[in-house]
Structure 1
């Protein structure tokens, strides 16, 4: 694996170039016959319904190499915005305004987490605090109960019963008074204000909300030419041979990549897409782009008198088959 050198900060100069022909990497990731046999043997063993008798060994008939390329772009971004907050004032100390104009949100120094690790933090803005009387309770700390309307009582259900039933039976809930004490306010008619929590005053302030997020985009090339029937979603869980890697504040489209030629155009398009996503409230902190060659082989093998096939993919040598062995009508050797 060979890593290129940065060409400087000139925007017209590609940030990464490779002096090695990408086709030279094919020899590094060719799936050998022994590797294919081991992968198929593990797959057959895991699918075998009989665990005690030794399973029949699969016979590899043909291995067809089908490597593909994966381009991945990661952009680590920082987003900032100011939000207003309100909480009960309990006598805490407030920073008085210093008289200077409020700094721009991008002029405020905040710590930066580890690159490409998503996180979210909130920072109070100094000098933005202001104490005001609670508008809901008028500074009294208590407001009218919504359950009884401030009376402390409400009508009992027995008041809607017919007179004949009320004469013969006394309501045990209200003792015949047709009125019950409100349980929400304990009959006081007022409850602690939910806005100021009984303090009577509110503290209004502002805080800076900072979010770090990683934008990820990837494109798999050379699939249509191979006629690959392997679901591409499976490739997201495997790794390949890293051919090119560029990690910088901002990266530039890959130049000199001719196999396959669409990698250069793909990198240029995705880099521009990530730049378009970031606006005034979002800044790019770091970018990383990689090109991987993922080993894939179509393996044809014989097993229990049948000719079968599967795909062995990734450096992890995972196996995918359209028809699972469990779905095939093999006769069990244990009676």
Structure 2
């Protein structure tokens, strides 16, 4: 499966950490890095693990995900009024009158779930590197056979963070002097899917708020979530894990983690001066949003 085609579906794969060298907006980047010295001679590269999934462990949803509270409105009337008032107050062209005077409030819950998968990878490549000879010992082939690139231990400083480390491959120096330098490149690939909340609320606004984590798991190789209450989350998990584990073949998967986050979203219908309007309150921070505020004025920059 070519990941460039994934962008046409509702599953979106973005590299949030690391260098995206792909041709499109989505997909797996080329993990081969070019050394600063373009005259270096390429020596070797390794493709990593063979994709063995025999060590899968299951991810079981938390029983709380079936709790009625996750299907009810998260916000109280007082909080909904305060959120709308603060929203209007921050808009220079909005009068706070509707937020203060609205009545007949009615609440509809559109709570949703967000699935996130992170795949932390390492790729390695080796290049000849020329260094000034300092009249010291030369660790050449006479001292032994140089190890395979993946036999050299390189510990990542932090999981799920981009990094690049260079180490000298033992027994590869020559009298010229040339030394084989191995580069370890760490990348983190992130897949995010938001379940359809069946409202007109713009989903990108969830990026700046938080909810409740109802499931999280971390393994060397994850198995997909299959029995969550929202089937679209199960499908997203299965597709994301399959794509990461089968398309990231030019590198070695070091670690994977995924989570499901419950995100509160409430539509508040109200009446102001005999007309009906609505707005949304979202996130545990109780942020407000509307695209049809009933009273605004013209703002002029002087």
How far apart are residue 328 of structure 1 and its match? 2.5
d(CA) in 2 for partners of 1:302, 1:328: 16
| One of 276, 279, 288 as aligned partner of 1:310 | 279
Name the counterpart of 1:110. Answer: 154
Pair 59,108 (structure 1): closer, same or farther in 2 beyond 3 Å? same
d(CA) in 1 for partners of 2:200, 2:265: 11
How far apart are residue 96 of structure 1 and its match? 3.2
How far apart are residue 291 of structure 1 and its match? 0.9
Name the counterpart of 2:163. Answer: 119
Cα-Cα RMSD = 3.2
Structure number with bigger Rg: 1
Matched length: 246
Name the counterpart of 1:179. Answer: none
| One of 276, 280, 296 as aligned partner of 2:265 | 296
How far apart are residue 13 of structure 1 and its match? 5.9
Query: Residues 186-207 of structure 1, C-alpha deviation per residue, up to 9 Å, x if partnerless?
Result: xxxxxxxxxxxxxxxxx32211
Name the counterpart of 2:222. Answer: 251
Matches within 5 A, 1:143-292: 203-223=177-197, 226=198, 228-257=199-228, 259-279=229-249, 281-292=250-261
d(CA) in 1 for partners of 2:289, 2:102: 17
| Structure 1: gaps of 5 or more residues | 1-8, 133-202
TM-score (norm 1): 0.64
d(CA) in 1 for partners of 2:101, 2:139: 76
d(CA) in 1 for partners of 2:85, 2:257: 38
| One of 79, 86, 94 as aligned partner of 2:138 | 94
Pair 95,18 (structure 1): closer, same or farther in 2 beyond 3 Å? same
d(CA) in 1 for partners of 2:94, 2:60: 53
Name the counterpart of 1:77. Answer: 121
d(CA) in 1 for partners of 2:56, 2:181: 40
| Structure 2: gaps of 5 or more residues | 1-52
- Residues 316-325 or 234-243, more deviating: 316-325
Q: Secondary structure at the match of 2:86?
A: helix
Query: Residues 50-73 of structure 1, C-alpha deviation per residue, up to 9 Å, x if partnerless?
Result: 99x999724252222111111111
Pair 99,69 (structure 1): closer, same or farther in 2 beyond 3 Å? same
How far apart are residue 217 of structure 1 and its match? 0.2
Give yes or no for contact 1:57–1:303 (8 Å, CA) kept in 2: no
Q: Secondary structure at the match of 1:38?
A: helix
d(CA) in 2 for partners of 1:275, 1:11: 13
Structure 1: which 4+ aligned runs deviate by more than 6 Å? Answer: 53-56
Give yes or no for contact 1:11–1:252 (8 Å, CA) kept in 2: no
d(CA) in 1 for partners of 2:73, 2:150: 46
d(CA) in 1 for partners of 2:158, 2:73: 32
Give yes or no for contact 1:250–1:286 (8 Å, CA) kept in 2: yes
